[in-house]
Chains A and B, each alone.
Chain A
Amino acid sequence: MATDSRESSDAKSGVLTPAATAARLAVIGAVMLIVVVVFASVGGWLSPHRLTQDRIIQAFQEISGAHPGFRHNHAKGLCFSGWFDSSGAAASLSKAEILQAGGRTQVIGRFALAGGMPAQADTPAQVRSMALRFIPPGGGEWRTGMNNIPVFPVNSAQGFYDQLLATRPDPTTGKPDPAAVQAFLAHHPETARATALIKARTVSSGFADSTFNSLNAFRFVNAARVTTPVRWAMEPLQPIAEEAPAQGAHADKNYLFDDLIAQLRQHPLKWRLLVTVGQAGDPTSDATQPWPMERQRVDAGTLTLDAVSSEDGPGACTDINYDPLVLPPGIEASDDPLLSARSAAYSLSFTLRAEEKARKAPSAVTPQEVRDGGKL
C-alpha cells in the first residue's frame, strides 16, 4: 500500500504524515471500541432479552411488591438451630465430614413459606421449606434448601420465570389469567406433569411432620473419587398427621409457625436425612421428574432441632444465604440448571436485602410471638 511505503520511509526519521497518524489513531480507536463491545456483550448489555438474575428478582418484585429487607422468595420464615448426628451410612458414598460416622454438626436453619409475601397468611397448600446450614468443626460448610413437594414444577430458569409471569394474579380478579396459565402449560408439558404430582401429595398438619425434598440432584463423591448421583430428603420422626380440613380456616394467620414454636417448647423435633441413590439414567438435570420409587435410600443421620427464633430476634439465619451451591468436599453440583439459577438469584437477593436492611419492616413472626411460645 502507498501509505505503508510512505510510513516506513517516514519511520526512519521518526515522523508520521498527518494522514498516517490519523489512520493509526483510527486503528487504535477501533481496537478499543472492540474491547468495549466485547465487555458489553459479555455483560449482557447487547442482549436485553437474556434471562439474568436481575430479571428474575424484578419479576418477584413486580408480583409480590417491594418488601425491603426481605428475601424475594420464601419471604416469610422462622429461624431454628440444632444439630445433625451422622449415622455414617452415607460415608461410603461421600467423603463429606458431615456424613462421617459419629460426627455431630451444628445446624442453623430456617422454615419458610414459598412466595415473595413476607406477611402472607399460612395456608395448607402453600409450599413449605426447610433450609439448613451445616457448620462442621472442620469448616466444610453445606447449605441446602428443601421443599415439601415431591418434584419441582419447572426444570429450567426460563420455565421458572415464565411460570412466575403466567401465574401472576390479575389485579382485578386476584387470580391468575387462565388463558396465560394454559398457554404456559402448553409450552411446558413437564410443568403440567409435575403440578399433577404436587397437587396429589398428602399435605401434613405442619412444619414438624413435613417431609422436605432436595428436588435438585447432586453428586456424592467418596474417598475413592467414585461419584454417585443423589437426591435427599428430611423425613420427620414425628408422627405424620394429615392436614385437618378445619385447620385451613385457622384464625391465626401464623398458625403453621405458631404450632411449630409450641411443639418445640415441649420436645426437640427430629428428622432423618434420607439420601436417595440414583442410578445411571435417572434424570439429574430435570427436577420435574421423580426418580423410580424402588431406588435405595440411605439413612444418613438425624437432624435435631431444639430452638427457634424470630428473624427479627437474635435469629442466626436472617443474614444467611441458603445457596444450594455452598457444598463441602464430597458433595458436588449436578448438571441441573436450576442450581446455578438459584445460586445466582439468591446472591442478588441477598445483596439487595443487605442493602435494604435498615428499611426492613418487622417480620410476621415476631420475637414476642416466639417468647410467648406460639398460640397453640
Chain B
Amino acid sequence: MSEQQARLLEQQARFPAISRFLHWLMAIMVLSMLLIGIGMVATESNRYHVLVSIHKPLGIAILILVIIRFVNRLLNPPPPLPASLPGWQRMAAEGSHYLLYALMLCMPLIGWGMLSAEPYPVVLAGSLRLPPILPQNATLYAWLRQLHTVLAYLFFLTFLVHFGAALLHGLVRRDGVFESMASFGRSSPRRR
C-alpha cells in the first residue's frame, strides 16, 4: 500500500448514518423550500395557495430538524477534512457550514416572527396553529419580510457554493470528502 493510498483510506471516514440521513433529508427540504418560496411570490394562480400552505409547515419542520441536527453534530462530530486541503478552503468549508446552520435556524424563525408581527395566523395544518412570537407591528413586519427575502437569496448562494464545492471534491479532488456524505452502502465508499 502506497503512502497516498493509506492517506486516502484514513480520510475516508464517513459521516455517521444518522448525520447522512439528516443531511439528505434536510437537503431535499431546504431545496424545496427555496423553490417554493421563490415560486409563491411570483404567482397569483391557485398554485399560490398550495405553495404557501406547504411553505409554513415545511419551514417549521426544518426549524425542528435543524435543532436535532445541531445536537447530533455535537454528539457526532464530522470527520476531519483531508490534511491536503488548503487552509482557506478549510475555513470556507467550515464557515459555509455554520452559515447554512444559521440560515436553517433563522429563516423559519424570521418567517414565524414576521407573520406574528403582521399579524397573520400561522396555520400549519387544520387546527394546528402556532402562537405569535412577536407583537403586532407593521414596521417590524416590513423589516422582517425584507430580511426573509435577502436571507433567502443568501441561502441559495450558500447552497450553490456548497453544492459546487461538493462536486469539486467528488469529481476533481477525489479526496473522499464527497463520499463521506454521499455514500449510502454499508461498506467503504471508495472501494472500486
Nearest chain B residue, comparing its CB with the CB of A55? B44
B118 and A337 form a contact (CB under 8 A): no
Contacts of B43 in A (CB 8 A): 44, 50, 52-53, 344
Complex CA distance for A320 and B66, rounded to whole angstroms: 32
**B171 at interface (Cβ–Cβ under 8 A)?**
yes
Tell me if A340 is interfacial: C-beta within 8 Å of chain B. Answer: yes
Q: Does B95 contact A (CB under 8 A)?
A: no
Instruction: Label chain A's interface by main secondary structure.
Output: helix
In the assembly, what is the distance between CA of A54 and CA of B40, in Å? 12
A285 to B136, CA, bound (A): 34
Query: What residues on B are CB-neighbors of A345 within 8 Å?
Result: 44
Question: Chain B residues near A36 (CB, 8 Å)?
Answer: 160
**Is B49 touching A340 in the complex (CB atoms < 8 A)?**
yes
Give the interface size bracket for B toward A.
35 or more
**Pair B160/A35 contact, Cβ less than 8 Å:** yes
Interface contact A139-B49, CB-CB below 8 Å: no
A47 to B31, CA, bound (A): 21
Q: Which of B45, B163, B171 contacts A24 (CB 8 A)?
A: B171
Q: How far is the CA of A13 from the CA of B174 in the complex (A)?
A: 11
Residue A259, interface by CB 8 Å: no
- Judging by beta carbons under 8 Å apart, are A343 and B120 in contact? no
Contact residues of B between 68 and 91, Cβ < 8 Å to A: none
Q: What CA separation (Å) do A6 and B43 show in the bound complex?
A: 49
**Bound-complex Cα distance A358 to B118 (A):** 16
Do B41 and A325 have beta carbons less than 8 Å apart? Answer: no
Query: Which residues of chain A from 264 to 293 have a CB within 8 Å of any chain B CB?
Result: none
A28 at interface, CB cutoff 8 A: yes
Main secondary structure of the interface of B (DSSP, over half): helix
Which B132-172 residues sit within 8 Å CB-CB of chain A?
Answer: 136, 138-139, 141-142, 145-146, 156, 160, 163-164, 167-168, 171-172
A249 partner residues in chain B, CB cutoff 8 A:
none
Number of interface residues of A (CB under 8 A): 52
Min CB distance B39 to A, Å, is: 4
Stretch at the interface among B17-25, B57-65, B121-129, B179-187: B121-129
- Interface pair B44/A39, CB less than 8 Å apart: no
Q: Is the CB of B120 within 8 A of A321?
A: yes
Could you give, for residues 1-27 of chain A, a 1 whenever the CB lies within 8 Å of some chain B CB and a 0 otherwise?
Answer: 000000000010110100001001101
Contact present for A357 and B139 (CB under 8 Å): yes
Q: Does B47 contact A (CB under 8 A)?
A: yes
Q: Is the CB of A344 within 8 A of B129?
A: no
Bound-complex Cα distance A140 to B128 (A): 10
B45–A32 touching, CB < 8 Å? no
B41, A53: Cβ atoms under 8 Å? yes
B residues engaging A (CB < 8 A)? Answer: 4, 8, 34-35, 38-49, 52, 118-121, 126-127, 129, 136, 138-139, 141-142, 145-146, 156, 160, 163-164, 167-168, 171-172, 174, 192
Jot down 20 A-B pairs with beta carbons below 8 A, ordered by A: A11-B174, A21-B172, A28-B167, A28-B172, A31-B167, A35-B163, A43-B39, A43-B41, A44-B43, A52-B42, A53-B44, A140-B127, A140-B129, A141-B121, A326-B120, A340-B44, A343-B48, A343-B49, A354-B139, A354-B142
